[in-house]
Structure 1
Amino acid sequence: MNPYGQVESTLKEILDVIKPLQEDRVTRFRIIDELREIVQSVEGLRGATVEPFGSFVSNLFTRWADLDISVEVSNGLCVSSAGKKQKQTILAELHRALIQKGGCTKIRLVPRARVPLLKTVSKWQNISCDISIDNLQGQIKSKFLFWLIEIDGRFRDMVLLVKEWAKANGINPKSGSFNSYSLTLLVIFHFQTCVPPIFPPLKDIYPRNVVDDLTGTKVDAERRIAQVCSSNIARFRSCRTINRSSLSELFFSFIAKFSDINLRAAELGICPFTGQWENIANNMRWLPRTSAIFIEDPFKQPENPARTVSKERLIKIAEAFETTRRMLISANVTRNTLLSMLVGPQKSRFLINNSAGYTSNSGSFRLNPHAQPYRAMQPPLQIQQHHRQPRYDNSRPSTSQMQHQAPKVEPSASNVEPQFSIVIGPNRPRPNHQFETTPSISQDQVQMPWQGQYNNQGQIWRPKSDK
């Protein structure tokens, strides 16, 4: 097998393990519903809504990813933001309610954070939850990232792989490196600057600062932004030259592009809004310079999500890129050496030791020499029996079984990638757990991935992507 072929097959194998299964989606809906009940039990939060955001809404989450949740005290009807003091008070009340309710562990209030948070771990699959108040900006950013998947489904695969690679190489916020959002912006920028480009400059999708337009009634603001984005995405898709690079080619070019990121960052900033490297000295919005690298938030300019990265840490990040680049072009590259570089040690051992596949036997998994490793079957679009539950391929371990096999790692999904819909109108309905089969954005409907599961017929909606 040629090196690109080995890299391609290994990347797909990794994706098949880290993408979420159906049960992982259902578990997150269960956590959200339980939190809704707790919020409604708090006297001062009657009428408040509970809205997920982050990677779950953008469909960029893995099997064990954290769940970000915003409690909307305005009932979701208008764009209003509680002050920091009020947010701290509300989270303190919710903190007491969660303790009384039980079922959660490691409940911790972080009132002095830039965005006050309530952190907890759910009893369901030990999923960590970060709860904030009136985080509309986080919600709209998540939806925007979700819309980008409609342009090209490889974006989702690349983000998941890059996040996994970053964690394996010590690139994470705890070490003072890039956070998840910064890594996602790097992937967007890579898709804008490859040849031919896969993404346009984000100003061609939405020409203004998105957060500046979050005014008035919330549903109207969401509708206005969604309609502009939908129209511009459709225009770009109709006239672009399609980039047909394989996943391995895109991954390699991503690693190569940023292998000297510490040198480039001395003079140039990364600007997904314009889709270009920009000279920092010529951009008055970025001055005075206070950080080692500038990655502009395209939705909240000129904020820099990578502002905490130090010069010393940036050198380490560049070394990780360069080491990976050398490994990828090595003539002696093997599956096992790739796994040791691209995923963390726990998942690497799991993949190396269990490459022959699994089959279920009375709730446990045993080696199956005839199984294709981790290849998940897609559920049929129509399930004949009305009350029949979706079935999962036994060759791929469930989340709970994965947790039993090894220490906690990062989540993964089946090849089924559902999206969800919400009706935008004067009275926002409770989630109806229905799928739409057409990803259009009209006056009355905006397709979003934060509600729904299979409908009664087992029908799903899959994101558009270029093959």
Structure 2
Amino acid sequence: MEASSLLNERQRMYRRTIPCSKSVLSADDDFVKFYESLIPTEDEMQREGLRKSLKEVVAMLLPQAELFVYGSSATLLGFKTSDINMCVVVDDDANRIEDTLFFLETLATILKDKFDDVKVVKDEVPKLKFKDFKTGIPCDISVNNQLALENTKLVNSYREIDPRLPQLVVIVKKWAKSRGVNDAFKQTRSSYA
């Protein structure tokens, strides 16, 4: 090993022992205030009633199904206006695209009386999209979207590692949204990215 690379290695090792500045470890007051202005209040996060009523409807169609929330509603990294993403998990027989579309279309027929703008979107991951009458909250329901559920678990693991993550993520998402670079349908990065 060359002397200069050995020196660089020693410098890197030494730097790891230097404690971080307090300003690095704690967010600036303005940063925190801005973050807090973006996140939903406790009342706004009480979307559980909506999920429970949808779970009852899903259980009428598929008693063995589970309804899980994923994305920013599950990671608490959303805005006051964030949608609620849900996934119906059923056995493998419903994995076929015909069954998934049939299930979503049947669910759409039932929900048309209870929600606004109900429609099935046949994307790479088909989903049912609608808005809650009372709150105006947009919702999506997909079927067996295991990747989305695993990504939610991953992000929640990151939240446990560093409590500053929510502040950083929400502010970067706000910046990306204000610049129009967080919409996968417009060929830009998704909010998850």
Class of the TM-score when normalised by the shorter of the 2 chains? 0.7 to 0.9
State the partner residue of 1:142.
152
**Secondary structure in structure 2 of the residue aligned to 1:52:** strand
Structure 2 CA distance for partners of 1:180 and 1:80, relative to 1, 3 Å: farther
Structure 2 CA distance for partners of 1:116 and 1:151, relative to 1, 3 Å: same
State the partner residue of 2:48.
29
Q: Deviations over 1:237-284 (max 9, x none)?
A: xxxxxxxxxxxxxxxxxxxxxxxxxxxxxxxxxxxxxxxxxxxxxxxx
Give the residue type in structure 2 aligned to 1:22. Answer: E
State the partner residue of 2:19.
none
Q: Is contact 1:54–1:68 with CA below 8 Å preserved after alignment?
A: yes
CA distance in 1, matches of 2:53, 2:153: 23
Offset at 1:153?
Answer: 1.1
Deviating beyond 3 angstroms after TM superposition, the runs of 4 or more aligned structure 1 residues are 7-10
State the partner residue of 2:109.
96
State the partner residue of 1:41.
60
> Which consecutive residues of structure 1, in runs of 5 or more, have no partner in the other structure?
183-467
Q: Deviations over 1:216-240 (max 9, x none)?
A: xxxxxxxxxxxxxxxxxxxxxxxxx
Structure with larger RCO (C-alpha < 8 A, sep 6+): 1
Q: Is contact 2:101–2:126 with CA below 8 Å preserved after alignment?
A: yes
Say whether residues 1:82 and 2:125 are aligned partners.
no
Structure 2 CA distance for partners of 1:41 and 1:10, relative to 1, 3 Å: same
Offset at 1:59?
Answer: 2.2
State the partner residue of 1:63.
80
State the partner residue of 1:16.
36
Matches within 5 A, 1:324-403: none
Q: Deviations over 1:381-416 (max 9, x none)?
A: xxxxxxxxxxxxxxxxxxxxxxxxxxxxxxxxxxxx
State the partner residue of 1:319.
none
CA distance in 2, matches of 1:91, 1:160: 31
Give the residue type in structure 2 aligned to 1:15. Answer: Y
Q: Is contact 1:80–1:134 with CA below 8 Å preserved after alignment?
A: no
CA distance in 1, matches of 2:148, 2:96: 16
Q: Is contact 2:176–2:182 with CA below 8 Å preserved after alignment?
A: yes
CA distance in 1, matches of 2:180, 2:168: 18
Give the residue type in structure 1 aligned to 2:146. Answer: L
Say whether residues 1:172 and 2:182 are aligned partners.
yes
CA distance in 2, matches of 1:12, 1:41: 44
Give the residue type in structure 1 aligned to 2:114. Answer: G
Offset at 1:40?
Answer: 2.3
Q: Is contact 2:121–2:128 with CA below 8 Å preserved after alignment?
A: yes
Say which structure is richer in strand. Answer: 2
State the partner residue of 2:68.
51
TM-score, scaled relative to structure 1: 0.34
Q: Is contact 2:94–2:100 with CA below 8 Å preserved after alignment?
A: no
Offset at 1:81?
Answer: 6.2
Say whether residues 1:155 and 2:157 are aligned partners.
no
Q: Deviations over 1:330-363 (max 9, x none)?
A: xxxxxxxxxxxxxxxxxxxxxxxxxxxxxxxxxx
TM-score, scaled relative to structure 2: 0.79
CA distance in 1, matches of 2:56, 2:81: 23
Offset at 1:30?
Answer: 1.0
Say which structure is richer in helix. Answer: 2
Q: Is contact 1:58–1:144 with CA below 8 Å preserved after alignment?
A: no
Offset at 1:46?
Answer: 2.5
Offset at 1:163?
Answer: 0.5
Aligned residues: 167
**Secondary structure in structure 2 of the residue aligned to 1:171:** coil
Give the residue type in structure 2 aligned to 1:69. Answer: M
